[in-house]
Amino acid sequence: MSTIRFKAIESLINRGYEPVGPAIEKISDYYGKHVFGEQAIQEYLSREAYEKVKAAIVHGVQIERDIADQVASSMKAWAMNLGATHFTHWFQPLNGATAEKHDAFFEPLSDGRAIESFSGSNLIQQEPDASSFPSGGIRNTFEARGYTAWDPSSPAFIIGGTLCIPTIFVSYTGEALDFKTPLLKALHALDNAAVAVCQYFDKNVTKVTATLGWEQEYFLIDEALYHARPDLSLTGRTLFGHSPAKGQQLEDHYFGSIPERVNAYMRDFEMESLKLGIPIRTRHNEVAPNQFECAPIFEEANLAVDHNQLLMDVMSKVARRHRFRVLFHEKPFAGINGSGKHNNWSMSTNTGKNLLSPGKTPKNNLQFLTFFINTIKALHTHADLMRAAIASAGNDHRLGANEAPPAIISAFIGSQLTAVLDELERKVKPGGKMTPDEKTDLKLNIGKIPQILLDNTDRNRTSPFAFTGNKFEFRAVGSSANCAQAMIVINTIVAQQLREFKSEVDQLMGKKKLDKDEAIFQVLKRYITESKAIRFEGNGYGDEWVKEAKKRGLNNFAKTPEALDVFVRKDALKLFEENEVLTHREMEARYEIQLEMYTKKIQIESRVMGDLAANHIVPTALKYQSELINNVKGLKEIFSAAEFKKAAGAQLALISEISERVNIILASVNDMIEARKAANKLSDARKQADAYCYKVQPFFETIRYNVDKLELLVDDEIWCLPKYREMLFIN
Ligand code: ADP
Ligand code: MG
């Protein structure tokens, strides 16, 4: 075995780890302990400041300077009590990570002493040097400044002695350079539009919040093996590796118990997360070996997005303590499942009602149907945007592959709700007035929805957007993605749809003098008819669906560059501008950034692949080949010509096969390098992404295929990379 592979496996096998003992503290004892949340705020803030901060959180009211000073000083007191020495603005730039720049509270005085200081202006605004974050050309170099601004709706928290303040990140000229800014605007647009529609049903509704419950999938791999795989450590996925004899076909991992070492890790990161107020609740094995999932209780979407970003960070840090690496890549291993991040989404009112949950009365259910049907209509109109929202180099491996929802967007609602919509469509007469009997009949049926849903066991795992009883589950989101991207799109399209709905219903009530219920029925009926193409109850993984979707006129953007184009299509620009979520300039900048990110990812993969193939794999194969050649020479010496032919046949074939594969690999690597050079010369970001997608990436398959074949031919003793069976089945 090659030294590096040998050492990695040896260190893994000889590694002891602390068995998990019983938990000492109750979760409720430490939950939220490191968050400047409700409890800390009440304890540390004056009543007046508390009220003003609440108003800022609920209604977006601006916080005045003196209040900010008060908040800052109590935050500092609270944080110092917990041992914090530094503070940072914490934000989510468009490179997909989170960013922070720590400053000490400490301030030297002229007499040589020092004090701890943290003012309202420190809290409200900071100017990190923004030039190293992607801006898509929004910032010219001479105005390289961007600034971060406090988001009071997401509470501050402490990590590793630093007080972290969630902020937005914008350019000096006010354009969004992050995920949070447009997310907050999209949530605001949804709030306004949904409250207006709720007024038809309940005058007490003054606020609607989008809710998000994500489910995070991930792989774990031992640190030593990770380091012995340059592809994993540089690209987050394995570029080579033959499938092991046993993969996930027995599905025994899903039902198996969680390995002890993994369990210890889970408990550790969960405890850290819970202290940060992330309401993490479930954990389990996934289908693929070494794949796991965790999920929290759902929260208001902005907070849930922050919590997911924070969780990924915590998980990565804690993994190191356990000598693991956590892989968030969408497809770390070929041939077994990839990882996603289901986004469960709904809307809830200040009156405590989930708008996607049917209620006990027909009126409540008409409200449910209104939001339910409008969501489907929004999805139908803007399906391409939902596809664009989940586009990334990593997710391209997953979408359309056998275990993941396809790149075609559709909605699954189950047979019972399908029947309800069919009935609505059938019974509401176009344009005309319904008799009181007809109306009563319809309402009676609508009243039965909750009973139907109670025994709704319909589950369709293959749909990218499935209704699951009281929420929609957007399943096509990638495991490494920032959920904000999906949340920006879904909340904006539903906001837009609800505004259109409101204006259509108002028109029918005004011009045609229809009563409210009938006006609502009329519009919903039309939406049901118009959006039928987006509803699909069958097997989303089948080839049949690809053909069927094409007939229905649904797009199937298989690759990221073409999926991203939708962001700068006229309809998309108009939509985001009208809802005041993103301007044309911001949209174009984001489009460019995403194309660049895509190109860079494929470029890095291509470089790593070339290096590994030419400098690691091929030399190993040649070493083995020369051993074979020596052996064959020996056979020739000791055997007669006739006997030699018999004795050396298989080895001669091996020698030729190795030559053949090595030749293909080296030629492909050379051609790939040429393709890369040509791609690098292109100055247009879209053309470059295309070149990487269609000219560079296709070589990956040929190179990998031949390398993986060599893995099966070459002596296991000298193979240079840890194998799939070693990475996936030892822990
Ligand atoms: P499953 O979908 O596996 O049946 P659950 O119904 O518990 O499991 O939901 C899975 C996820 O959906 C959890 O993260 C949960 O917090 C979230 N969820 C449940 N209700 C809502 C809601 N109203 N809005 C957003 N997310 C929700
Ligand atoms: Mg789920």
Amino acid at 719: W
- b/e per residue, 220-244, with b = 16+ CB within 10 A? bbbbbbbbbbbbbeebbbbbbbbeb
Residue 346 Cα to ligand 2 middle (Å): 14
273 lines ligand 1 (CB under 6 A): no
Averaged over successive runs of 10 residues, the pLDDT of the chain (731 residues) comes to 73 66 79 92 90 83 88 94 94 88 86 87 82 71 72 94 94 90 97 97 96 97 94 97 80 74 92 96 85 96 98 96 96 93 97 90 86 98 98 92 80 91 89 80 79 65 91 96 98 98 96 90 96 94 91 95 97 98 95 96 98 97 97 95 92 97 98 98 96 98 98 95 88 62
| Cβ–ligand 1 contact at 307 (below 6 Å) | no
End-to-end Cα spacing for the chain: 19
Residues 6+ apart with CB under 8 A from 302: 151, 153, 154, 180, 183, 184, 187
Determine how β-strand 157-159 pairs with β-strand 146-150. unpaired
Q: Is 295 in the pocket of ligand 1 (CB under 6 A)?
A: yes
Residues 6+ away with beta carbon under 8 Å from 557: 384, 387, 388, 391, 407, 563, 566
Could you count the other beta carbons within 10 Å of the beta carbon of residue 427? 15
Q: Is the CB of 474 inside a 6 Å radius of any atom of ligand 1? A: no
* Best CATH choice for the domain 31-178 from the list 3.10.20.70, 3.40.50.150, 1.10.10.10, 3.30.70.1230: 3.10.20.70
- Position 456 scores a pLDDT of 58
pLDDT of residue 141: 47
3 state DSSP class of 456: coil
The verdict on the CB of residue 470 being under 6 Å from ligand 1 is yes
Cα(207)–Cα(193) distance, rounded to whole angstroms? 10
Q: Is 85 in the pocket of ligand 1 (CB under 6 A)?
A: no
Asked whether 349 and 198 are in contact (CB, 8 A), the reply is: yes
List every span in the chain annotated with CATH 3.10.20.70.
31-178
Q: Is 479 in the pocket of ligand 1 (CB under 6 A)?
A: no
Distance 476 CA to ligand 2 centre (A): 11
Q: How far is the CA of 343 from the centre of ligand 1 (A)?
A: 9
Report how far ligand 2's centroid is from the alpha carbon of 323 (Å): 29
Q: Is 357's C-beta closer than 6 angstroms to any atom of ligand 1?
A: no
Res 19: pLDDT: 60
Q: Rounded CA gap, 506 and 516, in Å? A: 8
Q: Report CA(503)–ligand 2 centroid distance (Å).
A: 34
Ligand 1: distance of its center to the CA of 298 in Å? 6
User: From CA 100, how far away is CA 83, in angstroms rounded?
Assistant: 19
For the CA of 215, the nearest ligand:
1
Q: In whole angstroms, what is the distance from residue 566 CA to residue 385 CA?
A: 6
- Helix, strand, coil percentages (3-state) for the chain, rounded to 5, are 55, 15, 30
Beta carbon of 213 within 6 Å of any ligand 1 atom: yes
Answer yes or no: are the C-beta atoms of 331 and 235 closer than 8 Å.
no
Q: Give CATH for domain 597-727.
A: 1.20.120.1560
Tell me the ligand closest to 458's alpha carbon: 1
| Residues having C-beta closer than 5 Å to ion ligand 2 | 342
For domain 187-582, the CATH architecture is 2-Layer Sandwich (3.30)
